[in-house]
Every structure is written in structure tokens, then in C-alpha cells.
Amino acid sequence: MTGLLDALVDDAGLFPPTSLDMPSAVRRHRADLAAAEPMLAHRFLCPAARIGEFLAELAPEDRVRIILIGGADPAQTREAIRTVIDAPALTLAGIEWALAPLAPATSGTEPMAAALDVALRALAEGGAGPDVILFAEPADVTGAAALTAALAARRESAGRPLGLKLRCGGVQPELFPPAADLATALVAAAGTGIPVKATAGLHHAVRHTDPATGFTHFGYLNVLLASAQAVRGRSADEVASVLLDTDAGRLADLARSLTPEEVRRVRAGFASYGSCSTSVPVREAADLGLSERAASPAGGRSPR
């Protein structure tokens, strides 16, 4: 099981429900870098519109790997890419972009495919290097299979790695996809070799219902192991059953059952997920016996 959880968690402290202000988010990220917890990817998620605000909080000695979140204005995202490239303190580790705002109202091409081309042009014009991955997010998870096909079709011509971003929850109930739809998306991605990144709602390791909101959340372990089943060639129904599992012990045993080669293949297909807390994922992995290290106090408060 060695390596299954390494570099799994990207720092999404700016995003709900934690929603740290920029100074607090930078302080937490700096402390996490010093603690060097291996489960953390040590990549900071920042909206393109806030890159100037982020830079203003950095000390001269800071060195940060950043993932930009593209916005509705491709020109603004293009300029943010240039700003990151020109900043000695920053390394551009990737771009995540929800494609729906970029989709043309009328197009001879399928809208998500046309929006993907807009995003790819912005990366090229911004000077993003060929190793900078673009994780493209469909309008909703039901469009993931079509977007996966578009990503696969552009894999050779894009000049950079491409991935699929899947939204697993949010601050409204309609943002939580049905398990069957999320499973179908994971199977489609695994079948074409397109890596997946997950976002939103994965506040704990195991599927649970939040008593404050009544929303039922997927656990990060559910999604990671569901992706493992997709990589193993399991059916969408079998993948969905892992997404729906609430038995922490069974999920931990499934994680431990993966061979080193399966772990390698799983993590090639599941890149990471964004978490607004950097302490809760590590602590819960340790509680399940999947990690030897407990979280440092730097990880920030728990999400609701």
C-alpha cells in the first residue's frame, strides 16, 4: 500500500467551507511546507483573479508550487499564467478550469470540446510550459464521458498533459452527483487513460452525512478506491458500490489489498483532490491505519 496516499491532498484553503482569508491561507501553507507531511501535495490552489493578492502575502524566502483556477475570462487567466511564470517564488504546477463559462452559445463543435480549445489556447498564449497539466471540468458530471473523449482526442496535439476534474459536492445539494454518474465518469476516464482530479465535498475519509447541512458527502477514500476499481476494469455498478460504502474498515482493507503495481496504476489515474483542510485528511488516514504520521497543528480548522 506504500505510496497510495502520497501527495494526495492539494491545499484548497481559500475555498468553502473553510474559506480562509489570503494571509491565513498563506501562513497555513507555509507551515505545512515546513512540516513536510507526505500525504500533502504541497500545491496551493489559487483563482487566477486572486494571483496578485497571493503574491502580496509572500515573503522573499517563500517558494510555492501553485495551481491556478481558471475563470470565465480567458484573458485574465492567460495574464495570471504569465504572472506566475515571471514570479521567482512560484512554480506553475497546473491549471484547473471549469469549461462551462467558456462554452460558446452556438458552435459547430460540441460545446465542451470548443471550450477546451479556448482553455488550451490560453495556456499556450500565456506561456505555460509543456509539463503544465490542464485539468478540465465539465459543466456537470454527466458530461464527463464526452469531455473525456475530447481530452483523449487532443492528447497528442495539445502539447501538454490533460486531465479530467470531477466535482464531488459543494455548498448546495445539487452539486453532489449521484454515485452512478460519478462512477460512470471514473470508468470513462480509466478506459481512456485520462487522469482524474477530484474537488469539493470530500471533507472526510469515508462517506457520511453532515449533521449541520444534511448533505451526504463522498469520502476521499471512497473516491480514490472507486477510481482504483475503475482502473482494475470493474463495471460502473461495482465502482458505484465503493462510492456508496460507509464501512471504514472495509475501505481500509481494500486500500491495503492493492499491490504495489496497482497502487502505481491507481495514482497514475487519480492525481489528487483539493481539500479546504490539510489536517483532517491526514489525521483520518492515520486513524484508519493507512498512514503512520498524524497531522501537524498547522493544518487549520476542520470543515463542517
pLDDT at site 302: 43
Residue 144 lies in a domain: yes
Q: What angle do CA 241, 265, 112 make, to 5 degrees?
A: 70
- Pairing status of strand 216-217 against strand 208-209: antiparallel
Residue 3 lies in a domain: no
Residue 102 lies in a domain: yes
Torsion sign across C-alpha atoms 61, 65, 69, 75 = positive
Distances from the Cα of 241 to the Cαs of 134, 179, 302, in angstroms?
29, 8, 27
Spatial neighbors of 159 by CB under 8 A, at least 6 apart, are 124, 130
Q: Is the peptide bond before 297 cis (omega within 30 degrees of 0)?
A: no
Do the Cβ atoms of 163 and 197 come closer than 8 Å? yes
Q: State the CATH number of the domain containing residue 158.
A: 3.20.20
Find the domain containing 132 and state its range: 9-299
Residue 68 lies in a domain: yes
pLDDT at site 256: 95
E strands along 109-184, which residues?
Answer: 133-137, 162-167
Tell me the pLDDT of the chain (304 aa) as tens digits. Answer: 569 999 999 999 999 999 999 999 999 999 999 999 999 999 999 999 999 999 999 999 999 999 999 999 999 999 999 999 999 999 999 999 999 999 886 555 688 899 999 999 999 999 999 999 999 999 999 999 999 999 999 999 999 999 999 999 998 999 999 999 999 999 999 999 999 999 999 999 999 999 999 999 999 999 999 999 999 999 999 999 999 999 999 999 999 999 999 999 999 999 999 999 999 999 999 999 998 654 344 444 444 3
Residue 101 lies in a domain: yes
Rounded distance, CA 137 to CA 196, Å? 10
pTM across the whole model: 0.93
Spatial neighbors of 289 by CB under 8 A, at least 6 apart, are 252
The total of structural domains in the chain comes to 1
Residue 304 lies in a domain: no
Q: How many helices (H) and strands (E) does the chain have?
A: 11, 10
Residue 254 lies in a domain: yes
Residue 53 lies in a domain: yes
